[in-house]
Amino acid sequence: MPRVLHQLKVDLGDRSYPIIIGQGLLGTSDLSSYVAGSQVMIVTNETIAPLYLERAKECFPGKTVDSVVLPDGERYKNWEVLNLIFDALLEKRHTRKTTLVALGGGVVGDMTGFAAACYQRGVPFIQIPTTLLSQVDSSVGGKTGINHPLGKNMIGAFHQPEAVLIDTDSLLTLPPREVSAGIAEVIKYGLIRDVDFLAWLEGNIDGLVDRQPEVLAEAIYRSCVCKAEVVALDEREGGLRAILNLGHTFGHAIETFAGYGNWLHGEAVGTGMIMAADLSEREGMINAEQLETVRALILRAGLPALPPQNMTPEDFLNLMAVDKKNVDGQLRLVLLQAVGNAVVTSKAASGNLDATLTHFCQRQ
Ligand SMILES: NC(=O)c1ccc[n+]([C@@H]2O[C@H](COP(=O)([O-])OP(=O)(O)OC[C@H]3O[C@@H](n4cnc5c(N)ncnc54)[C@H](O)[C@@H]3O)[C@@H](O)[C@H]2O)c1
Ligand SMILES: O=C(O)C(=O)C[C@@H](O)[C@H](O)[C@H](O)COP(=O)(O)O
Ligand SMILES: [Zn+2]
C-alpha cells in the first residue's frame, strides 16, 4: 500500500515546490499536475532503468513519456554525457513545454537539472531521487551541474525543480556503500544546524545503516526540513547556504584528485567533515571531545576517516584553490564553532590548515 509519510514545502515564493516522502510511491503517485505540457522526458541511467523506469512512467498518466538512459557513474557527469540528453530531446522533437524528470541519484539529478536549465533556454523538471544521498540532499535546492577535470561541479546553474518525489522503498536495492555515502550528508545537517538531530542520529545511526524503514523516513524528513530552510533563506548561496558545504572543500579536492571514480561523493564529504572538525579544534572553536564525536559518528556510518594514501598537503592546497567559495584568491572554509553550529570563514590560520593537512596526509 502506498503511504505518504511526510510532505513539506521549499518556500521560494512563486517557485515554491513540494517534497513528498513516503513508501510505495513510485508507480502509484500521479505527478501529472506538475507537468505543464503534454510531454515528459525521463532521464535515468543503465543501473536504475531496469529497476524503476517502467514504474516511473506510470507516474505521468495522460502524458507522452520518452526516456534517455545514460551510462552510470560520477565520471560521466561531464559535457559529453550531458549532450546525450540534448540529443534525445532534439531527436524526439521536444519543445519548451517538455518537462524533464530525473530518475536516479545525485549524478542523474545534477545533470538532468542542468539540462533542464539549458534546453531551449530553460524547461521545467521534476526530481525522483533513488539514492539516500539524493533524497536527503541533491534533489532539493536547485544546484545543478557537471564536473570539470580541474574541479568538481564547476559548470552549472541554479534551477529549481517543480516537485520532489521520494520513495524510501527504492533504497532497498541500494548497495550498502551508497547508503553510508548518503549518511554522510545526513550527519552534515546535524553538525551545521541541528544539535537535536545530531543527538537523535547518535542513537539511531545503526538503524540507519541497517535501513530500518521508520529510521530512514525520519532521517530523510529531518534532512529535507533543514535543507529546505537553508535554501529558502539563501537560494543562491550569497551567505548562509555555504554551510551546506561543510566538509566539501576537502571532500571535493579528494574527489577531483581521485578522478571522480574511486571515492564516492559522500565518502569524500565524510572524511572532509572530520578534517574540517580537526581544523576547527586547532582554531580553538571546538574541543577534542567534540572532534571525537564527529569522527566517531562518521566511522559508525561506515565511512572512511582518512584521505587517499598518496594525496599530499600540496595536492589539497592546489585543488582547494579552485573552490567556488573562495573570494579574491582567499580560501573560505566551513568550520564548526560548536557541534550543531557551522560558520563560513576565511580567517583560519594557514599554520593550522597546514597542520591539519599534514596530520591527515601522514595518516596519523
Ligand atoms: N545538487 C546538490 O545539491 C548536490 C548535493 C549533494 C551531492 N550532489 C552530487 O550528487 C552526486 C552523488 O550522488 P549519489 O550519491 O546519489 O551518487 P550516484 O548518482 O552516482 O548514485 C550512486 C550509485 O547508485 C546507483 N543507484 C541509484 N539509485 C539506486 C537504487 N535505488 N538501487 C540501486 N542502485 C541505485 C547509481 O546508478 C550509482 O551507481 C555527486 O555528483 C554530487 O556532487 C549534488
Ligand atoms: O545545496 C548546497 O548548497 C550544497 O552545498 C549541498 C552539497 O551537499 C552538494 O554537494 C553541492 O553540490 C555542493 O555544491 P558546490 O557548489 O560546492 O559544488
Ligand atoms: Zn554534498
CA 244 to ligand 3 center in whole angstroms: 8
pLDDT given at position 330:
95
| 288-329 pLDDT, tens digit each | 999 999 999 999 999 999 999 999 999 999 999 999 999 999
Look up residue 110 and give its three cell numbers: 545534477
| Mean pLDDT of the 162-189 span | 98
Q: Burial level of 5, CB count in 10 A (0-12/13-18/19+)?
A: middle
Distance between CA atoms of 26 and 203, rounded to whole angstroms?
A: 30
State CA 314 to chain mean position distance.
27
- Residue 138: pLDDT above 90? yes
Q: Which of 252, 267, 281, 282 is catalytic?
A: 252
Q: At what angle do helices 350-361 and 265-282 cross, to 10 degrees?
A: 130
pLDDT given at position 293:
97
| Mean pLDDT of the 115-143 span | 98
At residue 146, what are phi and psi to the nearest 5 degrees? -135, 165
Could you give the percent of the chain with pLDDT greater than 90?
99
Dihedral, 289, 294, 296, 302 alpha carbons, nearest 10:
-170
The helix (run of H) or strand (run of E) holding residue 298 is: helix 288-300
pLDDT band at 48 (very low <50, low <70, confident <90, very high): very high
Distance between CA atoms of 132 and 166, rounded to whole angstroms?
A: 10
pLDDT band at 363 (very low <50, low <70, confident <90, very high): confident
| Mean pLDDT of the 232-255 span | 98
pLDDT given at position 98:
98
pLDDT given at position 230:
98
pLDDT given at position 104:
99
| Mean pLDDT of the 16-42 span | 97
Query: Does 295 participate in catalysis according to the annotation?
Result: no
Q: For residue 74, give the ligand 1 atom closest to its CA.
A: 20
| 327-356 pLDDT, tens digit each | 999 999 999 999 999 999 999 999 999 999
Query: Does 222 participate in catalysis according to the annotation?
Result: no
- What pTM, to 2 d.p., does this model score? 0.98
Q: Which of 94, 188, 193, 227 is catalytic?
A: 227
pLDDT given at position 261:
86
Is 176-361 assigned to CATH 1.20.1090.10?
yes
Segments making up each domain of the chain, as ranges: 3-170, 176-361
Q: For residue 140, give the ligand 2 atom closest to its CA.
A: 1
State CA 134 to chain mean position distance.
5
Look up residue 2 and give its three cell numbers: 502506498
Q: For residue 323, give the ligand 2 atom closest to its CA.
A: 17
| Mean pLDDT of the 193-211 span | 98
- Residue 364: pLDDT above 80? no
Our mutation pick for probing the ligand 1 site, out of 23, 47, 235, counting the most ligand atoms within 8 A of Cβ, is: 47
Q: What is the CATH number of domain 3-170?
A: 3.40.50.1970
Question: Across all residues in the chain, what is the average pLDDT?
Answer: 97
DSSP symbol at 245 = G
Q: Which of 80, 93, 121, 363 is catalytic?
A: 121
